[in-house]
Structure 1
Amino acid sequence: MSEQPSGLLNGLSNRLSLRRWARAARHARSMDLASLREQRSWARRFRHHLDQFIHIADDRLHIPLEGSSAMQAPHNADWTWRPELWRGRLDRPGRAAVPSKTMLGSEITLFHDCEISELTLRQMRNTREADLAPYGLRMDVFRFDGSYLSLVVDLPASAVQGLQKRHLVRVATVVETEKPLEIFARLNVKNGPNTEQIVRELPVTSGEVAVEFDLAYTKLNEKRVEKLWLDLIFEGPEMNQVHLRDLTMSRRPRADL
């Protein structure tokens, strides 16, 4: 049997509790100190659970809903994917003074060569009507004394299954920046001892932007494909804020000529 109270009993209990604490608030200034101390202790216990409940409820009831896999992809795509950072809440959503090789979740890794890191990463809840991803990633870059900055996205094993040279791999993202910034996407395909690499510049404009990687122009050995990963490379990121509201990947077979 469910331990949750019925709607009628739950509503009655909540109303009685609300009246009790409203009355306590009205009498707080005239209450004797011993009673005030005791009531304050109880109020703090209640507030902890109420704050936790509100946080979880707000998170679950926001649109888009947590775990949503809705995305725009080509109609003939045979594989689609959104990394976990953009799908659901991470156990540790933020990092400050981020050192190189720091992971956010199990699929995203930050790389840089700064001597002193003045970078922060934080997972943010998306709340706009236009957002399809439940979460986004915000990166703040202050002083930057390095020569490179990149986010590496490890693709799942499903991205490798059935991969052929006739495939077009698509990366789509929604990016917001404080000031103009060059961002490059590099697809890496490890096949045997070799790694094929294709680089595309992301056109940073309002709304979703996408680039495609045509595997027909690589020396891909279809029988030895082991792993795929994506590098997002940021050129001259100093004193900038980058908000990646969404990131999705898909692949589709090239039309037969």
Structure 2
Amino acid sequence: MGQEGGGLLDTVFFQRTMRRWARAARQATRTDLDVLRQQRQRARALRVHLESLIYKAEERLALPAVGSNNFPRPYNADWGWRPELWRGPLPIPGISSVQNKATLGKEVTMFHDCAFSEVTLRQLRNLREEDLAPYGLRMDVFRFDGSYLSMVIDLPEEAVVGLRKSHLIRLTTIVEMEQPIEIFARLNIKHGPNTEQVVRELPLTDAHVEVEFDLAYTNLNERRVEKAWVDLIFEGPEMNQVILRDVTFARRPRASM
């Protein structure tokens, strides 16, 4: 079955329908009440579908496009990725009173040691022209009685296939905050019984943030790499709102010396 389109017959029908409803609107002040009541009922029924169509159309047509994995990569990158939370709508877009080990989507897990959680997470639709990610993540923290708060992003299997000590892994994010805080990123790579860790502080002097993890200084066993994940660690997050407009990763080999 064909979709509703812009063919000649559709255009003629649309114009006739528009003229009919325009005429009904102009004559509404003198229309017989029984007729007017029927017109109102039909207009309300039509409005439900029109508003639903407009909402869904604006969602899909707004920039950036849902599902976009478009972002700048190093010229010699052999892997790049944007997590699903920043790429498309989640079935459950938010969590209130976030508990320890709570998950949002398949790739993001929150960790904290609060006795009583006053942390909320909410997926946002990015509508700004400068945003490349379709969605962002807002974290609101009110009273915080814990000693740590971190967000773990599990990297896909493709991130570690063929991973070498000669690789650099780049994390790029766009951060907005109500109050300045320190945020650290820790790359974790499990190889056999061991886990290598590389920590970088995010330079939050600019909204657009970029750090690289250099694997050359690790004891990575390239033949036993199993998986990788990144912790975003928020220092002193109490009474603050942090929005991550985008989070992306890229991998590239270090230039030969």
Same fold (TM over 0.5): yes
- Give me the whole-angstrom Cα distance separating, in 2, the residues matched to 1:169 and 1:51: 45
Give the distance between the partners of 1:41 and 1:172, measured in 2 at CA: 52
Cα shift at 1:28? 7.7
Per-residue CA distance 1:6-60 (angstroms, 9 max, x = gap): 4333333334444454555563897647963x55554444333223222221122
Asked if 1:225 is matched to 2:225, the reply is: yes
Amino acid at match of 1:76: N
1:25-40 to 2 correspondences below 5 Å: 27=28, 32=33, 36=37, 39=39
Indicate conservation of the 8 Å contact 1:175/1:205, yes or no. no
Q: Does 1:96 align with 2:96?
A: yes
| Of 64-73 and 45-54, the range deviating more from structure 2 | 45-54
Partner of 1:148: 148
Residue aligning to 2:67: 67
- After superposition, the C-alpha distances for 1:87-114 in whole angstroms (9 at most, x for unaligned) are 1122222222222222222111122222
Q: Structure 2 matches for 1:179-194, cutoff 5 A?
A: 179-194=179-194
Which residue of 2 is the match for residue 113 of structure 1?
Answer: 113
Residue identity in the other structure for 2:175:
V
For residue 216 of structure 2, what is the aligned residue in structure 1? 216
Q: Does 1:161 align with 2:161?
A: yes
Question: Does residue 171 of structure 1 match 2:171?
Answer: yes
Distance verdict in 2 for CA 1:187–1:4, change over 3 Å: same
| Superposition TM-score, scaled by structure 2 size | 0.90
CA root-mean-square deviation: 2.3
In the alignment, residue 133 of structure 1 is paired with which amino acid? A
Tell me if the contact between 1:152 and 1:229 (Cα under 8 Å) persists in the aligned partners: yes
Structure 1 residues 186-233: Cα deviation after superposition (integer angstroms, max 9, x where no partner): 101011111111111001133421111111111111111000001111
Unaligned residue ranges in structure 2 (runs of 5+): none
Distance 2:93 2:21 in 1: 34
Q: Contact conserved, 1:176 with 1:206, CA < 8 A, in 2?
A: no
Q: Which residue of 1 aligns with 2:196?
A: 196
Structure 1 distance, partners of 2:46, 2:103, is 35
> How many pairs were matched up?
256
Supply the AA of the counterpart residue of 1:134. Answer: P
Match of 2:2 in 1: 2
CA distance in 1, matches of 2:92, 2:23: 39
Match of 2:246 in 1: 246
